Amino acid sequence: MSATTIRVEGPAPYDVVVGHGVADLLPELLGEDVARVAVVRPASLPEVASSVLEALGATCTALDLPVPDGESAKTATVAAGCWEALGAAGFTRSDVVVTVGGGATTDLGGFVAATWLRGVRVVHVPTTLLAMVDAAVGGKTGIDTGAGKNLVGSFHEPAGVLCDLATLATLPRAELVAGLGEVIKCGFIADPVILELVEATDPADLTADSPVLRELVERAIRVKAEVVAADLKETGGADGHPGREVLNYGHTLAHAIERAEHYGVRHGEAVAIGCVYVAELAARAGSLDPELVVRHRSAFARVGLPTTYAGAPFEELHDAMRVDKKSRGNQLRFVVLRGLADPTVLAGPDEADLRAAYAAIGGPA
């Protein structure tokens, strides 16, 4: 099957290549005059990394930069270690960082590329569904602090993204399902066909070699590509559209849950819960029909994602949500829906509605 190329427009346009067995296309995405490539990848992915290093080694010097798994990689200490390695290797502005791994690796590696010499090229090779449809596209990079997730970072668009769906064949089922959280989110905010495909397909048939999964991946990437091309740095959209903020649908509570669970919950699982929460909130604020709230619950639950949460008191999550990047001063702001694929921003919702929505998803009183 041939590769699909999705163009992300903007000040620095780039291609997202999607297909099965497309790893050999990686050198084409690097650009010209590359002497060194630093491969940032989890220490737990030696097989995938070795194939990438071997492919790159034919044309340039490849530097292997293994980092911790998951969110534990997204620290200032790990980033500083990468900077020191780049310095020791004589990394220049004509060289390229390649990330190989999931969303955390993409966030960290993109941040390292954004900050080394004030910005060098980066190419992402996501190996999880979540990274393919979310972290690898759009140019957001970041690391975590004790105060919250992704609070330190930069906008740094990649030079290219290579999504080899063959890498999903070895992905644990729970990780694949978690990635569908971001996919289904895209269905609610922009592309209802995604929801129709999910609702019409047996979840067991959503496998790495499934044509339906490939269509879902491509549709989710196109949603993100269109949004970031119109509003790269979250300055706002036209005609009342939230702009890039729309991609954070469900994320305000999701990030609070991740923090409360010490990042022991998968991001896509937290996003599913967060989307159901804001649907409940929007219904209480009078902007969303109850039928669409039910559809939120059924769509996420159909693929095996959680739609309830009772792991922390409201006050703890409320405090965490106050440091969310969408907040303005002391005012909480949520991306909500007025209807299917009709997003807006709800600023300063009533605390009674916030509490009632949390109770509706199973939260303790």
Catalytic-role residue among 36, 41, 251, 326: 251
Catalytic-role residue among 248, 259, 266, 333: 248
252 marked as binding residue: no
159 marked as binding residue: no
**Closest by Cα among 121, 118, 156 to 138:** 156
267 marked as binding residue: yes
Radius of gyration of the chain (CA): 20
Q: Parallel, antiparallel, or unpaired: how do β-strands 160-164 and 121-126 relate?
A: parallel
128 marked as binding residue: yes
106 marked as binding residue: yes
Q: How far is CA 319 from CA 257, 315, 330, 354, in A?
A: 11, 6, 10, 12
- What does the block give as tokens for 341? 């694929």
Catalytic-role residue among 36, 41, 140, 214: 140
218 marked as binding residue: no
59 marked as binding residue: no
267 is catalytic: yes
224 is catalytic: yes
- What does the block give as tokens for 312? 């922390």
From CA 224, how far away is CA 151, in angstroms rounded?
21
73 marked as binding residue: yes
E strand or H helix that includes residue 162 = strand 160-164
69 marked as binding residue: yes
233 marked as binding residue: no
From CA 49, how far away is CA 37, in angstroms rounded?
13
3-class SS at 3? coil
CB environment 252-268: b (16+ within 10 A), e (fewer): bbbbbbbbbeebebbbb
105 marked as binding residue: yes
Catalytic-role residue among 36, 156, 219, 244: 244
5 marked as binding residue: no
Catalytic-role residue among 121, 214, 219, 255: 255
118 is catalytic: yes
170 marked as binding residue: yes
Catalytic-role residue among 118, 291, 328, 330: 118
- What does the block give as tokens for 220? 């989710």
234 is catalytic: yes
Catalytic-role residue among 218, 234, 245, 269: 234
From CA 200, how far away is CA 360, in angstroms rounded?
27
From CA 304, how far away is CA 273, in angstroms rounded?
12
77 marked as binding residue: no
167 marked as binding residue: yes
* DSSP label at residue 2: P
Catalytic-role residue among 224, 266, 284, 326: 224
326 is catalytic: no
124 marked as binding residue: no
182 is catalytic: yes
From CA 4, how far away is CA 218, in angstroms rounded?
8
Catalytic-role residue among 157, 182, 258, 269: 182
Catalytic-role residue among 267, 296, 326, 333: 267
Q: Residues annotated in the binding site, as ranges?
A: 69-74, 103-107, 127-128, 140, 149, 167-170, 182, 251, 267
Q: Residues annotated in the binding site for Zn(2+), as ranges?
A: 182, 251, 267
Residues designated catalytic: 118, 140, 182, 224, 234, 244, 248, 251, 255, 267
Q: Residues annotated in the binding site for NAD(+), as ranges?
A: 69-74, 103-107, 127-128, 140, 149, 167-170
